[in-house]
Amino acid sequence: MPSLPPTDAIAPSPSPPDAPSESLRERDQVPWPLWTAPAGVVLGLALGLVGSIVVAVVAAIGGSTLAHPTPAVSILGDLLFDLGFVAAAIYLARVSSRPRLADFGFRPVSPALAVGAVALAGIGYYLITAIYASLFRLHGSDKLPSELGVTKSTAALIAAAVFVCVIAPVCEEFFFRGFIFGALRRWRIGFAGRSLGPWIAAVITGILFGLAHTGSASPQYLLPLGFLGFVLCLLRWRTASLYPAMALHSINNSLALGLNELHWGAPAILGLMAGSIAVISALTGPLGARSPRLV
């Protein structure tokens, strides 16, 4: 898969720990230090920009214009931009440790728990977002699919759907929820005897996630996107797995693409959701097959 390294690049997870008293929080900790979170943002942005610039320059030599790139150029540039963050996460995680796939959240999770958690998180997110949009009378939608040429040809539509509904959820969840959120959770902050680290980590990660979409979403929707990033962090935390967050992210992108850009009906949108999740499961499922289930 283009967004993840070969399975032997990151050590597989060992058997579950023998100590039954070990808490979920202690077992679901990443080995890379806190400083790798800001470093990952800077390095990922640098690598992503370099990749996008290279694509733009090569395309310009071939006759494409920077102001109006072809769908293929736009998709390739966005792909390399996302892969830049994935590469940054893998590099920094390996600088000070030998990370396991499970450390990034590639762990099996109970199907009942996953479905219930995704449904609850999705309902909460869309309910609050609907209230927010109603109060502020927001209008507008994600501009990215239009730039990817979804209405220009069938090939462009398929490529854009694969990127928006499969590749982007995998890459972004790997970086934000698998790497950044994991590093920030090492921040020990307590209040009244309770740990606030995961909550603060979720807020910061959500803000970064919203800001990452500055170029592809209308400004008034950056706050809802930041809230989505926060919800996805809680989903990753409570299920001890990255898979439910990938699923909800893919569902959201499929809904945005099918409803806002393609104006599809419910059956087609549901088909896009199911197909995208199936592809994500086929590509990433084996990565967590040898990891222990924590919940």
Each of the 295 residues of the chain gets a pLDDT tens digit; together they read: 444 444 444 555 554 444 433 455 567 899 999 999 999 999 999 999 999 889 988 888 877 776 677 888 888 989 999 999 999 999 999 998 899 999 999 999 999 999 999 999 999 999 999 998 888 877 655 556 666 777 778 888 899 999 999 999 999 999 999 999 999 998 888 777 777 889 999 999 999 999 998 877 777 788 999 999 999 999 999 999 999 999 999 999 999 999 888 889 999 999 999 999 999 999 999 999 989 888 8
Residue 41 belongs to a domain: no
The per-residue pLDDT for 139 is 65
State both tokens at 52.
């996008």
How close are the terminal C-alpha atoms of the chain, in Å? 27
DSSP H helical segments within 137-221, as ranges? Answer: 144-147, 154-162, 168-172, 181-184, 197-211
Residue 39 belongs to a domain: no
The per-residue pLDDT for 10 is 58
Contact between 159 and 70 under an 8 Å Cβ cutoff? The reply is no
The per-residue pLDDT for 152 is 76
The per-residue pLDDT for 190 is 74
Residue 292 belongs to a domain: no
> Residue 191 pairs with which residues in a beta bridge?
194
Residue 216 belongs to a domain: yes
The per-residue pLDDT for 140 is 56
Q: The domain containing residue 191 runs over which residues?
A: 106-286
> Residue 190 pairs with which residues in a beta bridge?
195
The per-residue pLDDT for 71 is 81
* Other beta carbons within 10 Å of 283: 16
The per-residue pLDDT for 7 is 42
Residue 195 belongs to a domain: yes
Residue 295 belongs to a domain: no
Residue 141 belongs to a domain: yes
Contact between 48 and 84 under an 8 Å Cβ cutoff? The reply is yes
The per-residue pLDDT for 156 is 84
The per-residue pLDDT for 208 is 96
How many domains is the chain built from?
1
Tell me the backbone φ, ψ of residue 61, rounded to 5 degrees: -65, -35
Residue 193 belongs to a domain: yes
The per-residue pLDDT for 18 is 42
The pTM score is 0.88
